[in-house]
Amino acid sequence: MSDIDTAWKRLETEGARLRGIHLRELFAADPGRSGAFTATLDDLSIDFSKEKIDQGAFSALLGLAEATGVASCREALFSGAPINLTEGRAVQHMALRAPEGAVVEIDGADVMPEVRATLDRFLAFAEDVRSGAYAAADGPFTDVINIGIGGSDLGPVMATRALRPDHDGPRLHFVSNVDGGHIADVTATLDPKRTLVIVASKTFTTLETMANADTARAWLSAALGDGAGAHMAAVSTNLEATAAYGIDASRVFGFWDWVGGRYSLWSAIGLPVAIAVGAQAFRAFLAGAAAMDAHFREAPLAHNLPVLLALIGVWRRNVMGWRTVGLIPYDQRLERFPAYVQQLDMESNGKSVTREGRPAGATGPVIWGEPGTNAQHSFFQLIHQGADTVPVDFIAAATPRGADQHHHELLLANCLAQGQALAFGKSEAEVRADMEAEGKSAAEIEMIAPHRVFPGDRPTTTILHRALTPYALGRLVALYEHKVFVQGAIWNVNSYDQWGVELGKVLAKALIPAVKGEALPEGLDGSTAGLIARIHDLKG
Ligand SMILES: O=P(O)(O)OC[C@H]1O[C@H](O)[C@H](O)[C@@H](O)[C@@H]1O
C-alpha cells in the first residue's frame, strides 16, 4: 500500500470512529478544544473546534498532507514551474502582490520589473480618473462601467462592495451577462458623456464581453461621436485584440498567461477597484494578500491557515461524505464573496480526472452562500433540521467600519448563536422541559416536541478578523486561493484549467443562427430542436 493509501485508510478509520461521537461529547471530553483547534495569523483566526474532529483525526489529516506532498507542491507553485500541466503554464498570481524587492522567475526571467511597471501604470491611471486629470469632455468621470465576466467581473464586484467604506472615487457599475437587460438597465441610469467603460477580458474573445463592449461603444458613440474612444479602456493579456478593437494603447493594461482568470483580481483586472478606492488602498489590499502568501509559504503545515482550511474541507468532503459547503459571511459587504469563492473553488477543483488523466475520487464540493443574518431567515431551516449535514464556514469581523456598533453586536451575537445551535442543538428532553415550563398540555407536547428538536452535531468553522479593511480583504481572498491550491494538491487535480466551460461555448456559437431563425445545425437532438421551434412560435 502506498503512503497515500495508508493515510486515506487511517482517515477512514478516524472518520468511522468520529461519526458516532456527537459534537456535544467532543466538547464534554475536552472543553478547551477551541485552544487546540484555532489557528491564527495576526488578527485573523480560524476556529475549527466545532468540526467533528479530535486529535486523532487532526493528526491523520496532517498525515495525509504529508503523504500527498503538499509542501513540495507548494514549493513547485512558488518556484514558477509550469504546474498548470494541461496548458503548459506557471501559476504565479502571487507575483502580482509580491513585496518590494522580491524576485519572481518564470522561464528563467524575473517578471517583477514588468509587474511593477504595469501596477504603477494602472494605479496612475486610476488616480487620474479619480482626480479628473483624465476626464471626460464635459468634466471628470462620474461613473465607470466594468464590462467582463467570470474572473474579469466577480473579483472587482466583490471587492468594490466589500470596500464600500474606502470608496471615494466615481460610482462603479458592472455588466457581465450577455442578457441585454443587464447593459440596458445599467446604461439607462447613466450619462455617456461622463462615463468611462472598461472592457476587461483576459482573452478578449469572450462572447458575452465582446457583445457588451460593442453595445457600450455604440451607446458612447451615439452621444460622443468620435470622442467615444476616449471613454474606453481595456484590460487583457491579448494586446493584439485590444489594438484591433481600436482602444488606445495608453488606456490598455496588460497581464500575463501565468495569471488565471479567477486569480486575476490582483492584476489590472483590479483597475475598477483601484478607481473606486484609490492606489493606496489597492496597495494595502495587495499587501494583505502578500502577508498570506508569506504565511502559506513558511508556516509549518499544522499551523498553516490555508492548509488547515483545506484539510477541514477534505475531512468534510472525503471522509464524512458531505457534498456542499455553505459560505456565510456575517458581513453584508461580503455579499458577493460566496459567488467569488464559488468560481475560485468550483472552477479550480470541479474536476474528475487526476493530473495524470486517471479517474479522481471525490473532489471539489458545491460552494454556495448568502450573508448572515439574512440566511438565517431563509435556508438555515434546512441546515438546522434538514436530512443532510451541510457544513458551514462563517466569516465575521470583530469591529464594524463606518457602521453602528450596536448593529454590529447584534450581528456577531447571531453569528455565534448559529454556530452554537448547529453544534449542540436542543434535545427532545430539553424541548419537553421548555414546553412544560411554558404550560403546554401533555397532548400538545407529544405532538409538537419532535418538530422542535435540533439534532445538533452540525459542523461549522468560524473565521474572525478585526475589521474588513483592504488589507484584511486581500488576506482573506489569498487564504481561500491557497486553500483551493492545497486541496488540488491533495486530490492530485490540475486546479488551473477549466476545460469544462468549453463545450457549451462551442455549442452556443453553433446554435446562434438557428435561434436567429436560420437553418438548424445538422443532426440536432430532438429536444433542442423542439425548444428552438417553441421559441420561434412564442416570438410570433
Ligand atoms: O477574461 P475572459 O477571457 O473574458 O474570461 C472570462 C471567464 O470566462 C471563461 O469561460 C472562464 O470560465 C473563466 O475562468 C473566465 O474568467
Question: What tens digit of pLDDT does each residue of 6-15 get?
Answer: 999 999 999 9
Q: What are phi and psi of 392, to 5 degrees?
A: -130, 140
For residues 487-494, average pLDDT: 98
Candidates 419, 137, 130, 396; CA nearest to 282 is 130
Indicate which atom in ligand 1 lies nearest the CA of residue 261.
16
Q: Which residues contact 110 (CB under 8 A, 6 or more apart)?
A: 103, 104
Once rounded to an integer, what is the mean pLDDT over residues 37-60? 98
Integer Cα distance of 195 and 60 in angstroms: 56
Q: What is the mean pLDDT of residues 440-450?
A: 97
* pLDDT for the residue numbered 485: 98
Do the domains spanning 3-67+299-424+459-497 and 500-539 agree at the CATH topology level?
no
Report how far apart the first and last C-alpha atoms of the chain are (Å, whole number).
Answer: 66
Cβ of 508 below 6 Å from ligand 1: no
Residues 130 and 272: their CA atoms lie apart, in Å, by: 11
For ligand 1, atom 7, which residue shows the shortest CA distance?
150
The finding on whether 501 has its CB within 6 A of some atom of ligand 1 is yes
Per the prediction, the chain carries an average pLDDT of 97
Dig out the grid coordinates for 224 from the structure: 460622443
Residue 202 near ligand 1, beta carbon < 6 Å: yes
**Closest to 421 measured CA to CA, from 381, 476, 388:** 381
pLDDT at residue 137 greater than cutoff 90: no
Minimal-distance CA residue to ligand 1 atom 8: 150
Q: Which residues pair with 196 in a beta bridge?
A: 144
Q: What does DSSP assign to residue 375?
A: G
Cβ of 153 below 6 Å from ligand 1: no
Which ligand 1 atom sits closest to the C-alpha of 498?
12
Cell of 85: 500541466
For residue 119, the Cα-to-chain-centroid distance in whole angstroms is 23
- The pLDDT, as a whole number, for residue 490 is 98
What CA dihedral angle connects 88, 92, 96 and 101, to 10 degrees?
Answer: -120
Phi, psi of 394, deg, nearest 5: -100, 145
Task: Kindly list the distances between the CA atom of residue 74 and the CA atoms of 78, 91, 343, 457, 487, in Å, as whole numbers in the listed order.
Answer: 6, 11, 21, 34, 11
Is 176 near ligand 1, meaning CB less than 6 Å away?
no
- Cβ atoms 494, 484 nearer than 8 A: no
Q: Has 347 been annotated as catalytic? A: yes
Active-site pick, 377, 406, 516, 539: 377
Interval between CA 157 and ligand 1 midpoint (Å): 15
Residue 50, all three cell numbers: 466545532
Asked if residue 203 has its Cβ within 6 Å of ligand 1, the reply is: yes
90 CA distance to ligand 1 centroid (A)? 18
Q: Which of 416, 374, 410 is nearest to 395 (CA)?
A: 416
Q: Which of 444, 463, 460 is nearest to 452 (CA)?
A: 444
Question: 108: left (phi > 0), else alpha (psi -120 to 50), else beta?
Answer: left
From 14, 208, 347, 481, active-site residue: 347
Q: Which of 9, 505, 509, 536 is catalytic?
A: 505
pLDDT tens digits, one per residue of 141-151:
999 999 999 99
451 catalytic per annotation: no
C-alpha cell at 127: 488616480
Determine the pLDDT at residue 138: 87
Q: Name the pLDDT band for 1 (thresholds 50, 70, 90).
A: confident
The kind and range of the H/E element at 195 are strand 195-200
**Three-state SS letters, 232-291:** EEEEECCHHHHHHCCCCHHHEEECCCCCCHHHCCCCHHHHHHHHHHCHHHHHHHHHHHHH
The answer to whether the CB of 149 is under 6 A from ligand 1 is yes
For residue 209, give the ligand 1 atom closest to its CA. Answer: 4
Q: Could you tell which of 203, 345, 509 is best to mutate to test the pocket of ligand 1, judged by most ligand atoms within 8 Å of the CB?
A: 203
pLDDT-based confidence at 417, cuts 50/70/90? very high
The per-residue pLDDT for range 377-416, each reduced to its tens digit, is 999 999 999 999 999 999 999 999 999 999 999 999 999 9
Strand pairing partners for 172?
144
Mutate which of 206, 212, 348 to test ligand 1's pocket (most atoms within 8 Å of Cβ)? 206
Q: Is 495 in the pocket of ligand 1 (CB under 6 A)?
A: no
Does the beta carbon of 206 sit less than 6 angstroms from any atom of ligand 1? yes
Q: Which class does domain 93-280 fall in?
A: alpha beta
Task: Tell me, yes or no, if 52 is annotated catalytic.
Answer: no
**pLDDT at residue 540, as a whole number:** 86
Domain ranges of the chain: 3-67+299-424+459-497, 93-280, 500-539
Tell me the three-class secondary structure of 84-137, residue by residue: ECCCCECCCHHHHHCCCCCCCEECCEECHHHHHHHHHHHHHHHHHHHHCCCCEC
Site to probe by mutation for ligand 1, drawn from 494, 498, 507 as the one with most ligand atoms within 8 Å of Cβ, is 498
Cα-to-centroid distance, 80 and ligand 1 (Å): 22
Of ligand 1's listed atoms, the one at least distance from the Cα of 149 is: 6
- Is the minimum distance from the CB of 262 to ligand 1 under 6 angstroms? yes
Distance 493 CA to ligand 1 centre (A): 20
Atom of ligand 1 nearest to the CA of 236: 1
Ligand 1: which of 84, 87, 91, 152 to mutate, judged by most atoms within 8 Å of the beta carbon? Answer: 152
Q: Helices 154-162 and 470-491 meet at what angle, rounded to 10? A: 140
Instruction: Verify whether ligand 1 is closer than 6 Å to residue 151 (CB atom).
Output: yes
Query: Which one, of 343, 339, 457, 461, lies nearest residue 395 by Cα?
Result: 461
Per-residue model confidence as pLDDT tens digits over 170-214: 999 999 999 999 999 999 999 999 999 999 999 999 999 999 999
Is the shortest distance between the CB of 155 and ligand 1 below 6 Å? no
| CATH superfamily assigned to domain 3-67+299-424+459-497 | Glucose-6-phosphate isomerase like protein; domain 1 (3.40.50.10490)
ipTM: 0.98
Hey, which of 146, 149, 176, 212 would you mutate to test ligand 1's pocket, going by the most ligand atoms within 8 Å of its Cβ? 149
Residue closest via CA to ligand 1's atom 11 equals 150
Q: What is the pTM (predicted TM-score) of this model?
A: 0.97
Report whether 464 contacts 396 (CB < 8 A): yes
State residue 448's pLDDT score: 97
pLDDT score, position 260: 97
Using pLDDT thresholds of 50, 70 and 90, give the confidence band for residue 218: very high
Q: Return the percentage of the chain with pLDDT > 70, whole number.
A: 100
With beta carbons less than 8 A apart as the criterion, state whether 473 and 162 touch.
yes
Under a CB-based contact definition with an 8 Å cutoff, are residues 48 and 483 in contact? no
Domain range 500-539, CATH architecture: Orthogonal Bundle (1.10)
Share of the chain above pLDDT 90, in %: 99
Residue 309: closest CA among 139, 53, 59, 486: 486
Ligand 1 binding pocket includes 264 (Cβ within 6 Å): no
CA 310 to chain centre: 14
